[in-house]
């Protein structure tokens, strides 16, 4: 069990995370927040790459910084920018990392073979990585994180660059892995975690907004999400009055999904909120700024 | 152990490094082979040492004179004018032998004319030493003249060696050849150490490498790997270069000759080492000093790398460090001992390998304990530096 206790991180004067407190058990946690919210910052602290400016992170009651290699022996980590050596093959790279993880050569060779199969890279195991596509590199990254059969698996945007087929395969792999370990997956793609995360953590304004099951998070908007169809001409007025989540053009009219916290008008269809709705609603200011 | 092997491999699979290693090695071989035209003439010194023993004694000189006279008689018997090849060789050899005889005969005379305290005075004037610096210098020259007297008493300088004038074999081997070896090793070592240390940061794999079980301790392995690589590189260049050198030039009877041999007098002053050491001992000491310097440089480059995490900057900063240390004594007032303290640095040390352990040098280099003080002082500095950088790295945020 990992406990993040009142952790803040400053980059100089800039506060990237403020007073974060989290309790994490076995299972999959989806760390869901838009760009720049501090996902990577939190993950780097969990991976001991950076130290909290305030507070501490403990694993089974022990500060992970003091645990040092003892903690990292339990850790599998895929960074957001997964680097590799151009002239190494996946096998060479994984062998090197296995040595750094303190694994014997014989075990490593066997495990690497299994892992490359798991991420569908067996055939290119001996090819130099400079010829690999982004998705292939990312899969080497996933294999690398699993080398030491980690108790704590932290993946920073693992699905970036994966095609839909690989994304699905990856989700299956994750649910399989999550049975007896703690998995943290950061993403800003809702569908990546919606179906597999036991809990979703959302960060807003440098603080934890939600840490709850997908269902509970969706319920925060229960009864407030509607769909309706309006004339194209009324769109601007509508946008000004309500928080529009989704717009879809359909035979000259607009199909609109939106939020309203009050009495419903005629012709509105109340719908079950999805995680995407919550995401779009909560981060509407950040998202609008980006568009 | 595995990890250190992997780290070394990074250097030895670098094409630039391998190319430089081969280029430098072949350059050295070429340099030596291209000067081998003196080989035949040089054989005479070796022959003399073989025939009369390496020490020049009254007995051996008498024997030598008799043999020379015998040869002269033989020379006068040759009356024809169409000389055979063998006869021509005989002439030149005889001529050289006579020259060696004269040189050996003249040793006492020439050594008696040397007054080190006076030489010290002129050094002090030349470099404008004053105050405590001048006093230190004077003291050191008094010590040197005592050493010189001791030498004249025990005759350690009376040993056969290649005539310093004109061959200058000491300078060729210890200044030119060693200078090349040092400079070449240094370039490759700097490249290798920076490459090994920065490899993860340059390839953006640092986030993965430093979150493994080994974690930031990997840097320690990198230091070990850098030192090991530096050792391999220096040993490779040294063996190849010195191997070629001693294959081309025959020292077989001169290993035991003194490094302060009076025959080895190349320029204005004879070589006077602070200790009574043979040529072979001097060679070994030189190799050890060069090796120690290379290890220290490696650790310095390693520490710079930790701070800047970029190969080019590391290389550049190291070059500046090397040059500043070399020029430093020139910027310090010549009135205090600070000027000598500034001279106790590795750049000064490795720039003058032919003056290792010698008293007939200038500045701090001529001091009796210059070499080992420099190495010891810098070992302490470098160990502290490495410790500080490793500690700093352990606590540093890695982005
Ligand atoms: N090394 C750093 N120095 C200064 N500021 C930083 C540094 N790293 C991150 N930040 C800032 O901290 C904030 C959080 O960044 P972080 O990378 O943690 O966000 P993120 O949620 O991972 O974003 P993304 O989805 O784009 O990866 C951002 O505003 C970023 O500019
Ligand atoms: Mg990020």
Whole-angstrom Cα distance, residue B195 to residue B190? 8
3-state secondary structure of A195: coil
Cβ(A37) to ligand 1 under 6 A?
yes
Measured in angstroms, the CA of B218 and the nearest CA of chain A are apart by: 8
pLDDT recorded at residue A195: 85
**Number of helical (H) and strand (E) elements in chain A, helices listed first:** 12, 14
- Residue numbers in B near A106 (CB within 8 A): none
pLDDT recorded at residue A170: 86
Q: Say if residue B181's pLDDT is above 50.
A: yes
CB pair distance less than 8 Å for B204 and A100: no
Cβ(B80) to ligand 1 under 6 A?
no
pLDDT recorded at residue B356: 87
How is residue B127 written in tokens? Answer: 């470099």
- Size of chain A in residues: 291
- Residue numbers in B near A97 (CB within 8 A): 208-209, 212
Confidence band for A287, pLDDT divided at 50, 70 and 90: low
Most confident of B71-85, B89-103, B377-391: B377-391
3-state secondary structure of A209: strand
Put simply, whether A107 touches B (Cβ < 8 Å) is no
Cis peptide before B166 (omega within 30 of 0): yes
The fraction of chain B above a pLDDT of 90, given in percent, is: 46
Residue in chain B nearest A99 by alpha carbon: B3
CB A56 within 8 A of CB A100: no
Q: Which residue has the higher pLDDT, A79 or B340?
A: A79
Mutation target to probe the B interface, by most B beta carbons within 10 A, among A96, A128, A148 is A96
How is residue B17 annotated by DSSP?
H
Q: Whose CA is nearest to atom 29 of ligand 1?
A: A36
CB pair distance less than 8 Å for A99 and B6: yes
Confidence band for A288, pLDDT divided at 50, 70 and 90: low
- For residue A90, the CA-to-ligand 2 centroid distance in Å is 24
pLDDT recorded at residue A183: 95
Mean pLDDT confidence for B348-373: 85
pLDDT recorded at residue B122: 85
Sheet with A14-24, side-by-side order of all strands: A14-24, A2-11, A54-59, A62-63
The fraction of chain B above a pLDDT of 70, given in percent, is: 99
Q: Say if residue B188's pLDDT is above 60.
A: yes
Which residue range is the domain that position B222 belongs to? 2-37+161-395
The strand ranges marked E within A80-218 are: 152-156, 182-187, 199-204, 207-212
What digits encode the pLDDT tens for the residues A82-139? 999 999 999 999 999 999 999 999 999 999 999 999 999 999 999 999 999 988 999 9
What digits encode the pLDDT tens for the residues B207-265? 999 999 999 999 999 999 999 999 999 999 999 999 999 999 888 888 888 888 888 88
Q: Say if residue B166's pLDDT is above 80.
A: yes
Q: Which residue has the higher pLDDT, B119 or A31?
A: A31
C-beta neighbour count of A273 within 10 angstroms: 21
Cis peptide before B177 (omega within 30 of 0): no
pLDDT recorded at residue B118: 84
Q: What is the ipTM of this complex?
A: 0.91
Q: What is the DSSP string of A85-142?
A: -TT--HHHHHHHHHHHTT--HHHHHHHHHHHHHHTT-GGGTTS-GGG--HHHHHHHHH
Q: Say if residue A290's pLDDT is above 60.
A: no
Whole-angstrom Cα distance, residue B349 to residue A73? 46
Structural domains in chain B (count) = 1
Residue given tokens 């020490």 in the structure block:
B55
Instruction: Count Cβ atoms within 10 A of the Cβ of residue A28 and give its class: 0-12 exposed, 13-18 middle, 19 or more buried.
Output: buried
pLDDT recorded at residue A127: 95
C-beta neighbour count of A248 within 10 angstroms: 11
Average model confidence (pLDDT) across chain A: 91
Direct distance between the N- and C-terminal alpha carbons of chain B, in angstroms, rounded to an integer: 28
**Closest to B296 measured CA to CA, from B322, B273, B276, B274:** B322
Average model confidence (pLDDT) across chain B: 88
The fraction of chain A above a pLDDT of 90, given in percent, is: 71
Q: Say if residue A289's pLDDT is above 70.
A: no
Q: Say if residue B346's pLDDT is above 60.
A: yes
CB A154 within 8 A of CB A79: no
pLDDT recorded at residue B53: 82
What digits encode the pLDDT tens for the residues B111-136? 888 888 888 888 888 888 888 888 88
Put simply, whether B3 touches A (Cβ < 8 Å) is yes
Cβ(A81) to ligand 1 under 6 A?
no
Residue given tokens 């054989």 in the structure block:
B43
What digits encode the pLDDT tens for the residues A155-213? 999 988 888 888 888 888 888 888 889 999 998 888 888 888 999 999 999 999 999 99
Whole-angstrom Cα distance, residue B154 to residue A131? 73
Taking each helix axis from N to C end, the angle separating A134-146 and A105-118, rounded to the nearest 10 degrees, works out to 130
CB A34 within 8 A of CB A87: no
Any alpha helices (H) in chain B, and if so which ranges?
2-12, 15-34, 39-52, 58-77, 85-105, 107-112, 116-126, 131-154, 164-167, 169-170, 178-203, 206-209, 218-248, 279-308, 311-327, 338-343, 346-351, 370-395
CB A142 within 8 A of CB A170: yes
Of A50, A51, A79, the CB nearest to B208: A79
Q: Say if residue B90's pLDDT is above 90.
A: no
CB pair distance less than 8 Å for A83 and B203: yes
Mean pLDDT confidence for B184-196: 94
Taking each helix axis from N to C end, the angle separating B178-203 and B311-327, rounded to the nearest 10 degrees, works out to 150
Nearest ligand for residue A16 CA: 1
pLDDT recorded at residue A28: 93
Q: What does pTM read for this prediction?
A: 0.91
Mutation target to probe the A interface, by most A beta carbons within 10 A, among B9, B16, B208 is B208
Confidence band for A291, pLDDT divided at 50, 70 and 90: very low
Residue given tokens 């300078």 in the structure block:
B171
What is the C-alpha R_g of chain A? 22
Put simply, whether A92 touches B (Cβ < 8 Å) is no
- For residue A219, the CA-to-ligand 2 centroid distance in Å is 27
* B138 occurs within a structural domain: no
* B92 occurs within a structural domain: no
Put simply, whether A11 touches B (Cβ < 8 Å) is no
């Amino acid at each position: 069990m990992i406990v993040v206790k009142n952790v803040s991180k400053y980059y100089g004067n800039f506060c990237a995370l403020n007073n974060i407190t989290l309790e994490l058990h076995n299972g999959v946690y989806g760390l869901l927040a838009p760009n720049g919210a501090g996902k990577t910052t939190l993950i780097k602290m969990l991976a001991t790459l950076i130290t909290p400016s305030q507070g501490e992170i403990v694993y089974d009651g022990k500060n992970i910084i003091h645990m040092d290699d003892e903690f990292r022996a339990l850790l599998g980590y895929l960074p957001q920018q997964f680097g590799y050596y151009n002239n190494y093959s996946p096998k060479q790279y994984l062998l090197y990392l296995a040595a750094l993880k303190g694994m014997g050569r014989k075990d490593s060779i066997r495990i690497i073979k299994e892992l490359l199969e798991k991420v569908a890279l067996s055939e290119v195991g001996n090819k130099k990585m400079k010829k690999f596509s982004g998705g292939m590199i990312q899969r080497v990254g996933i294999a690398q994180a699993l080398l030491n059969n980690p108790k704590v698996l932290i993946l920073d945007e693992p699905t970036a660059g994966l095609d839909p087929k690989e994304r699905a395969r990856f989700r299956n792999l994750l649910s399989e892995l999550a049975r007896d370990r703690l998995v943290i997956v950061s993403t800003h793609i809702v569908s990546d975690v919606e179906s597999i995360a036991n809990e979703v953590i959302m960060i807003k304004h440098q603080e934890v907004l939600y840490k709850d099951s997908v269902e509970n998070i969706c319920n925060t908007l229960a009864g407030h999400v509607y769909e309706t169809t309006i004339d194209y001409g009324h769109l601007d007025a509508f946008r000004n009055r309500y928080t529009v989540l989704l717009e879809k053009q359909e035979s000259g009219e607009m199909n609109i999904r939106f939020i309203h916290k009050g009495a419903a008008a005629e012709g509105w269809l109340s719908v079950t909120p999805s995680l995407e709705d919550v995401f779009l609603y909560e981060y509407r200011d950040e998202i609008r700024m980006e568009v | 152990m595995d990890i250190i092997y992997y780290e070394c491999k990074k250097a030895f699979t670098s094409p630039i490094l391998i190319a430089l290693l081969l280029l430098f090695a072949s350059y050295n071989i070429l340099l030596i082979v291209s000067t081998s035209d003196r080989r035949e003439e040089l054989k005479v010194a070796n022959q003399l040492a073989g025939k009369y023993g390496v020490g020049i004694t009254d007995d051996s000189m008498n024997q030598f004179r008799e043999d020379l006279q015998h040869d002269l008689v033989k020379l006068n018997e040759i009356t024809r004018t169409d000389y055979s090849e063998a006869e021509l060789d005989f002439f030149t050899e005889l001529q050289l032998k006579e020259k060696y005889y004269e040189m050996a005969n003249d040793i006492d005379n020439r050594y008696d004319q040397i007054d080190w305290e006076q030489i010290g005075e002129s050094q002090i004037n030349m470099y404008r030493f004053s105050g405590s610096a001048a006093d230190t210098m004077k003291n050191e020259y008094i010590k040197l003249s005592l050493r010189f007297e001791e030498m004249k008493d025990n005759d350690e300088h009376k040993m056969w060696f290649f005539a310093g004038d004109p061959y200058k074999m000491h300078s060729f081997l210890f200044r030119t050849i060693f200078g090349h070896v040092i400079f070449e090793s240094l370039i490759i070592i700097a490249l290798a150490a920076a490459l090994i240390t920065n490899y993860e940061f340059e390839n953006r794999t640092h986030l993965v490498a430093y979150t493994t079980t080994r974690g930031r301790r990997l840097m320690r392995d990198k230091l070990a790997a850098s030192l090991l690589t530096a050792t391999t590189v220096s040993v490779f260049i040294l063996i190849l270069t010195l191997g070629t050198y001693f294959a081309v030039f025959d020292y077989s009877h001169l290993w035991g000759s003194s490094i302060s041999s009076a025959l080895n007098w190349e320029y204005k002053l004879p070589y006077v080492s602070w200790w009574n050491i043979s040529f072979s001992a001097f060679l070994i000491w030189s190799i050890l000093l060069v090796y120690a310097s290379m290890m220290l440089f490696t650790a310095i480059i390693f520490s710079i790398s930790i701070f800047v995490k970029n190969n080019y900057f590391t290389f550049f900063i190291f070059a500046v460090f090397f040059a500043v240390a070399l020029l430093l004594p020139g910027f310090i007032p010549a009135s205090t001992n600070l000027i000598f303290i500034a001279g106790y640095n590795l750049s000064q040390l490795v720039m003058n390998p032919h003056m290792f352990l010698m008293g007939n040098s200038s500045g701090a280099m001529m001091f009796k304990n210059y070499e080992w003080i420099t190495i010891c002082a810098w070992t302490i500095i470098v160990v502290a530096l490495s410790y500080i950088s490793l500690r700093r790295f352990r606590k540093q945020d890695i982005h």
